[in-house]
Structures are given as C-alpha cells and as structure tokens.
Amino acid sequence: MSLIFFVAPAKEQACFEEGAALGRVFYRQHVDRELFCDKDKNGPATLWFNAYESVYVHDSFPRKSSILGERGNEIILQPGDKEGFPVYMNVRDGEIIFKRYLGLEPGASIIHDTLPEITWELLDSYKEIGGYRCQRAEGEFAGRLYEAWFTREIPVPFGPYKLWGLPGLILEARDELGLVRFEFAGLELFASPEQEVLKPVKGRRHFQSYEEYLQAAEERRMNMNKKARAEGSGFRALGPIKDCSIEIY
C-alpha cells in the first residue's frame, strides 16, 4: 500500500469571479445517536464552493426555533436558523465561520475562528463516485477518525461540514464507527457564475473564537444553575452533550 501524508494548505488562488460559486455538491448527512441533539441537521445538505471558499448548508434545518415541550426538569428546544446553520470556509484568509446555540437563546450565534488543522493520510485505494475517480484518505477531526473519498478532477480543498484540506473535492466521508456519515447525492458544476458563496450574517451574538464562545456558554450554564438553586428550583442546565455530536472532544 502506498501512503502519502498531506497537510491542509493555508491558501488557494481564486480562478473565477469574486464570490461566485463554481459548483455545488449534494449530500445526505447522518448522525446516529440515541439523543435528540443533532437530529434536525440530518437529511439533505449542500456544499457551495469556488476556488478559495465554500459554505455547507443544512437544507432541511428548521428555519424557526420553537419549544417542543418539557421532560421532567428539562426544556426540549427545537432549534432553527433562517440560513440553514451554515459552515463557511475561506482558505485564502484561513477563516471558518459557523453557528452555535448559546443555551436557550432564541437565535444562533456566529463564531469566527481559524480553519481546523487536519493532517490527512492518502491511501492507494480508489473508487468511482458520481462518475468521478476518487481516492481514499484518512484523517482525524474533533475526536473522530474519518475516511474520506476525494476527487482530483475537481481540485478544490473542500468537503462536507468542517472537513477540508485534501487536493480535491470530498464527495463522501464517514467516521470509523459509521456514526457520522456524509453520503454523496449529486454534483453540479456551473458554466457561468451562479449564487455567491455567502458568509453567515444573521446571528444573535458574534464571537471571535470558538474558545470565547465556549467560555460564554459555560458562564451562562453556571449562572442559570446558580439562579435555579437560589430559587429552590430543580432545574439544572447541562453542559454540551458530546457523545451524540459530530465534534466530541
């Protein structure tokens, strides 16, 4: 078996109109879990991309938040987002912009951060997906080991969700346990400029790093629990439920 190690590049050069999409990939996202925290992101998703930026959008994500009900001392929130909970990447600027909920706030917040570092191991294994010759690669991201299939026939470094950094477009990916899967559902390349690759803009709050967001989320959780204890309430706000999330570290 031939092995090549490839580290995600810092920048790419644009080869199309500024901001215009070169194409889009259709996926079906699956996150298998017993709990409810990721269920609304499952289903169809679209990756819009050009030479240096991409945005991954959950097409079936509810556009409006609502409260489904209560279970014991827990409030069950049905989250929503008008933009489809997008994940935007820009390899020219080394930037990633995505959304997270902060407690029970009615709208998602926008987080600005640097692109995650993923070191990929390129394997001497190939298959055809959607008429494109794809090569297998393995890399670890956010506590999960992923198998990804990418094609050099479309030499852009993007993929579903926050997976990126291979010398070709990622058409399929799954973690080693099969709990997180991004299945190929179609690909469209544009002969002329189409929809722009847009950054998330509609957010309740803006954070300048993921660490800043996590600190705010923990402070909010502690304050909610402190208030509940002072009022003699049995309510208890939990931390992030990591075992059913795409990112588990």
* pLDDT at residue number 195: 76
Residue 33 confidence (pLDDT) above 80:
no
Q: Coil, strand or helix: which one is 212?
A: helix
- DSSP tally for the chain: helices H, then strands E: 1, 15
Residue 193 confidence (pLDDT) above 50:
yes
Task: Read off the tokens for 16.
Answer: 């199309």
Residue 16 confidence (pLDDT) above 70:
no
Distance CA 100, CA 95 (A): 16
Percent of the chain with pLDDT over 90: 51
Please list, in sequence order, all residues whose beta carbon lies within 8 angstroms of the beta carbon of residue 81, skipping any fewer than 6 positions away.
Answer: 61, 62, 63, 99, 107, 108, 202
Distance CA 226, CA 11 (A): 45
pTM of the model: 0.82
3-230 under CATH 2.50.20, yes or no: yes
Question: What mean pLDDT, rounded, does the chain reach?
Answer: 82
* pLDDT at residue number 172: 98
8 Å CB contact between 97 and 162: no
Segment 125-180, tens digit of pLDDT: 999 999 999 999 999 999 999 999 999 999 999 999 999 999 999 999 999 999 89
For the chain, what are the domain ranges? Answer: 3-230
Q: Out of 110-124, 140-154, 194-208, pick the least confident.
A: 194-208
Segment 48-99, tens digit of pLDDT: 999 999 999 999 888 877 666 666 666 666 678 889 999 999 999 999 999 9
